[in-house]
Amino acid sequence: MVGSVEPETPGPVALSVRDLQVALPAGMDRLHAVDDVSFDLPRGKILCIIGESGSGKSVSANAIMGLLPRALRIVSGRIVLNGEDITDLGPDRLRALRGRVVSMIFQDPLSALNPLMTVGEQIEEVMAAHDVGSPRSRAEKALSLLDEVGLPDPEVMFHQYPFRLSGGQRQRVMIAMALALEPAILIADEPTTALDVTTQAQILALIREIQQRKGMSVMFITHDFGVVAEIADEVVVMEKGRIVERGLADKVLHAPDHPYTKQLIAAVPKLRSGDRDSNEAATGGAQLLQVEGLMKTYRSARGLFQPPRIVTAVNDISFELAPGRTLGVVGESGSGKSSLGRVLIKLLDNDGGRILFEGRDIAGLSEREFKPLRTKIQMIFQDPFASLNPRATIGYSLTVGPVAHGMEQDEARRQAMALLEHVGLDPGAYDRYPHEFSGGQRQRVGIARALMFKPKLLIADEAVSALDVSIQAQILQLLEEIQRETGVAMIFITHDLRVASQICDEIAVMQKGRVVEYGAPSQIFMSPRSDYTRELVAAIPGRDAGPDAKTTTEPQAGMNR
Amino acid sequence: MLRFLLNRITQIIVLLVIVSVIGFFILNLIPGGPLAQYALDPGMTQADIERLKEQLGLNRPLYVQYLDWAWRLVQGDWGQSFRDGTSVLSVIGRHLFATLLLMGSSTVIAVAVGSWVGIRGATHRYSTFDHVATIAAMVALSIPTFWFGLVGIYIFSLQLGWLPAGNMYTVGDESVGDYLLHLIMPSVVLALVHIAIWSRYMRTATLDVINQDFVKTARAKGVSERRILMKHVVGNALLPMITLAGMQLPSLLTGALVTETVFTWPGMGRLFLDSISYGDYPVVMGLLMFSAILVIFGNLIADIAVAIVDPRIRLS
């Protein structure tokens, strides 16, 4: 059974999908997850499938792998993999192809590896599953693969458990696993989305380098046109289960035909070279917030007889913020940017330094003393799905806080309706439940909730990170408008430098709890002073992309450490 | 590891002191006491009872009695039964075998059947099997054990005559086959409840794992469904079950009061009941300390087992 799969002469097309139609379960917002989709993956090329959430791009990939969830089924169409029609293959035949002819890597490397098996065992498992080699030769192959994907100390790495590895290292392990049997085709489903920007650049370079060296065909799924600009030879754009545009990467990126593609490209946040127009609402003189030498350390108690482990998340941070201005806090995961936000809103206690809000030090205030001030500092959270109580109406979520702080119920209701309209929602949303809204709509609710208190300071922690780019652009616009109208000061915490450059007056770059660079966006992005900032800026995917700039599609040598 | 153990041992000692103090003083709040049975005995005069009290040390202040008892315990002397003067440890030892036999066999049944039902319920979620298993578990949990015991005795002993109605062996026979025959009904009845509990937990634990990304990764690697289930799914699903097993371990040795009573099984559960009604304080205290130690060690063993199985805990 195994071995009869590869044709004598592999054709010019590695993977061909024809008229694929996958049905959604009844009661969804549309009939088909994927409708009438046809595309070819040319041999030895990288094909990017790009689309927003719900566009059907992942469903297409899972259909090819035979990994569709039970609720979804292929209605019609053909999938030809390496010359073999696999549409009607039984589960055993499909299993024999997976991992051998076609491999797949996934979005979240943190959960994609079995926590109870060593890295080496998991790589060996691919070969064992297809009865390739002896235990000894598998171990040797696994070691050479670990070396090939650029992991340090393969011998040590082989015996490590996944939890010891960083996200980037785990994604390298996933790639090593995918390459174990030298498959003709690699499907990568958003493999860099969950990674920090510098790690993303390294993984993209690695995939590009391996693809070229082995002549592999790669189907790369992404939502990020920046990534497309870095890696794609050809592009397919999907919207709501259908293909709306296809072509060579250069062509699609620089001269898109379809309005949806144009809209998507326009929505991609770009690094702005200039600074923000100074805000009219900004009142000169008095600072709203002055932070001096702020410290936050975490102690994890390890037992009666052990010294606690101490991690300094916020280390001696000072800045000032005037009304109507926005400070961007950027950094990679673990840089302490979220801890900073939480300390400022007093969700966490600080361990030193002062937080002067309207001239008064709030750092040492007790919960009761702080309560009247709490309304003036509000937060917008990252995950619009998790931050609203699913069992409470939108209206309840909006009014419960103000009523608790003494507002009349009728007045709260009136204001909530007005705010819903203001953030671009129908006031009828007041009586509805969160599950009836999309991610972008929920984030609008989250903003309305924060505004109910007429705050002086808004802290937005990755407020647009979970949203599709077109929605992202709308939410950023909304925040901008609100700031101009109300003169609220904002602290905008994000890992995305492009987004920060759009909306911020000043930017603080954080690394390991410290601010390594502070200044206007033009200075930070155009002439960064610290090495770390330079590295961050260089890693932004597709920073040269755009309708009027050149793309770089060559693999970046030296990035592959 | 050494520090971990030191921490745990400190916790254990503090816990044992608290349990023993509370147990000792509550026991002495029970009206009557060990000598109450002699009060109506025409052959015993008040002076006799006083002399007996003196002999047993029961006339001393309560805290002196406790400290004396505790000091002996630390030295390894668990005291003597008021009933027949044999040492408490040997009384416990005598009943321990019966309980181990019953609980051991019922646990084996419960874990094997419960795991299978739970895993299958998770992999075939919302199937007929899953629905039937869910309802059966609810029924088994709602109906008291003694009812199952009595129904079992009625059907299999009285009507069909296949199985003995009680006791651990037939006097005069005592062969392995005889023990097994006596064991079947009590262990199955006892297992019913545990199957219900274990299968529900196992189902939830399996469902938690079955949709994890690494299961999809294994599928994408071309690993067989059988290996995915056994190695990737069940391996990870068993982690939370170890803690549950640790919590059930004490009941394994302290016995099942109701079942042992229904089937007149000479185990620890019945010993406890008898000793309380007899006012046999040394044995009751002995059993209390014994089960407290088991609870603690059950948890300790579970923690160590989880650490052995889970590298995230073992290595950090």
Task: Determine the Cα–Cα distance for residues A313 and B49; give it in Å rounded to an integer.
Answer: 72
Q: Is pLDDT larger for residue B94 or for residue A561?
A: B94
Q: Which residues contact B249 (CB under 8 A, 6 or more apart)?
A: B294, B297, B298, B301, B302
Q: Of A166, A193, A209, at which residue does a domain stop?
A: A166
Residue A381 lies in a domain: yes
Residues in chain B: 316
Name residues 220-279 of chain B within 8 A of A (Cβ). Answer: 220-225, 227, 231-232, 235-236, 239
Residue A550 lies in a domain: no
- For the record, the structure tokens of A193 come out as 């989305």
Instruction: Say whether A114 and B236 touch across the interface (CB within 8 A).
Output: yes
- Out of A130, A302, A303, whose CB is closest to B222? A130
Q: What residues in B contact A177, CB-CB < 8 Å?
A: 217, 221
Instruction: Say whether B214 and A97 touch across the interface (CB within 8 A).
Output: no
Q: What is the pLDDT along chain B (316 residues), one digit of tens a residue?
A: 677 778 778 888 888 899 899 988 888 887 767 777 666 677 777 777 788 777 777 778 888 888 888 888 888 888 888 777 888 888 888 888 888 888 888 888 988 999 999 999 998 888 899 999 999 999 988 888 888 888 988 999 888 888 888 778 777 777 888 888 888 888 898 888 889 989 999 999 999 898 888 999 999 998 998 999 989 999 899 888 888 887 777 766 666 778 888 888 888 888 888 888 888 888 888 888 888 888 888 888 888 888 888 887 776 6
Q: Which residues contact A493 (CB under 8 A, 6 or more apart)?
A: A328, A329, A330, A337, A338, A340, A341, A459, A460, A461, A462
Task: Determine the Cα–Cα distance for residues A328 and A520; give it in Å rounded to an integer.
Answer: 10
Number of H helices, E strands in chain A: 19, 20
Q: What residues in B contact A118, CB-CB < 8 Å?
A: 311
Q: How many CB pairs under 8 A join A and B?
A: 88
Whether the per-residue pLDDT at A367 is higher than 60: the answer is yes
CATH number at residue A500: 3.40.50.300
Q: What is the ipTM of this complex?
A: 0.75
Task: Determine the Cα–Cα distance for residues A132 and A87; give it in Å rounded to an integer.
Answer: 26
Residue A260 lies in a domain: no
Each as own residue / partner, the long-range contacts of residues A471-476 (CB below 8 Å, 24 or more positions apart, any chain) are A471/A438, A471/A439, A471/A440, A471/A443, A472/A267, A472/A269, A472/A499, A473/A266, A473/A267, A473/A269, A474/A424, A474/A440, A475/A440, A475/A443, A475/A444, A475/A447, A476/A269, A476/A502, A476/A503
A274 class by beta-carbon count within 10 Å (0-12 exposed, 13-18 middle, 19+ buried): exposed
Q: Structurally, how many domains does chain A consist of?
A: 2
Residue A56 lies in a domain: no
Q: What residues in B contact A308, CB-CB < 8 Å?
A: none
Predicted TM-score (pTM) above 0.80: no
The residue segments making up the domain with residue A529 are 326-346+367-539
Q: How far is B218 from chain A (nearest CA, A)?
A: 8
Residue A297 lies in a domain: no
- Out of B221, B232, B312, whose CB is closest to A163? B312
Q: How far is A100 from chain B (nearest CA, A)?
A: 8
Helices B88-123, B235-254: inter-axial angle, 10-degree rounding: 150
Residue A482 lies in a domain: yes
Q: Which residues contact A333 (CB under 8 A, 6 or more apart)?
A: A167, A196, A495
Whether the per-residue pLDDT at A257 is higher than 60: the answer is yes
Looking at residue A2, what is its pLDDT? 43
Residue A450 lies in a domain: yes
Task: Determine the Cα–Cα distance for residues A153 and A150; give it in Å rounded to an integer.
Answer: 9
Residue A199 lies in a domain: no
> Which residue from B minimizes the CA distance to A99?
B221
B316 touches chain A (CB under 8 A): yes
Q: Of A126, A149, A166, at which residue does a domain stop?
A: A166
The residue ranges of every structural domain in chain B are 2-74, 98-278
> Which residue from A minimizes the CA distance to B9?
A304
- For the record, the structure tokens of A529 come out as 């002073």
Looking at residue A553, what is its pLDDT? 36
Looking at residue A303, what is its pLDDT? 55
Q: Of A166, A197, A215, at which residue does a domain stop?
A: A166
Q: What residues in A contact B225, CB-CB < 8 Å?
A: 91, 95
Q: What residues in A contact B224, CB-CB < 8 Å?
A: 95, 129
Instruction: Say whether B217 and A125 touch across the interface (CB within 8 A).
Output: no
pLDDT-based confidence at residue A237 (cuts at 50, 70, 90): very high
- Out of A65, A111, A161, whose CB is closest to B312? A161
Task: Determine the Cα–Cα distance for residues A130 and A137; give it in Å rounded to an integer.
Answer: 14
Query: Which CATH number applies to B98-278?
Result: 1.10.3720.10
> Which residue from A minimizes the CA distance to B313?
A163
Closest CA to B250 of B79, B111, B99, B146: B99
Collapse the DSSP code of A265 into the 3-class scheme (helix H, G, I; strand E, B; otherwise coil) and give the result.
helix
What pLDDT, in 10s, does the model give residues A293-325?
898 888 765 555 566 677 888 889 999 999 989
